[in-house]
Copies of this chain bind each other. A is one copy, B any other.
Amino acid sequence: MPGPYKWRHRFQGYVCRWTLPREAILDLLSRTSKHMSAKEIYATLYSMYPGIGLTTVYRTLDLLVRSGMINRLSFGDGQNRYEFRSGKKEEHHQHLICTKCGRIIDCSDLFTEQLELLKKAEDVLTKKYNFTVLDHNIEFYGLCEKCKKS
């Protein structure tokens, strides 16, 4: 169970009440490097906080997504996954997804020049389709180290 309400201040203006489940879920996501599903979050929290309900996890995740504190990811495995969102602007990273075992690896290895080109692409899209780009998502699919061997 997390200590005092470490994340409370980031909630000003988004929500009225800062509660223990909300703190616990955000704290967990801020610590892990995994891309956890609602069920996984629930299971992890349940061991230290048996009172928690799966419904609350879902509702809290929704809330956190809407207030921009976490990202919702869908890799097509039938459930949504969530990741903590660093406060830094433009702190984009990519995901490497192993199509064999489902492992997801974070990486932030795009070069500055690539990011600039991406920005340029966004400008083109804005003009051509009159579409305002707010965010982007880049994923690489393939085989991870382990799965290549077997």
Contact = CB atoms under 8 A, between A and B. Distances in A.
Contacts of A144: 129-131
A135 interface: yes
A46 interface: no
Nearest to A137: B139
A47 B134 CA distance: 39
24 contacts: A74-B74, A74-B76, A96-B125, A96-B129, A96-B131, A99-B134, A105-B129, A107-B128, A107-B129, A109-B124, A109-B128, A110-B121, A111-B117, A111-B121, A125-B140, A129-B145, A131-B143, A133-B141, A134-B142, A134-B143, A136-B138, A137-B139, A137-B140, A138-B139
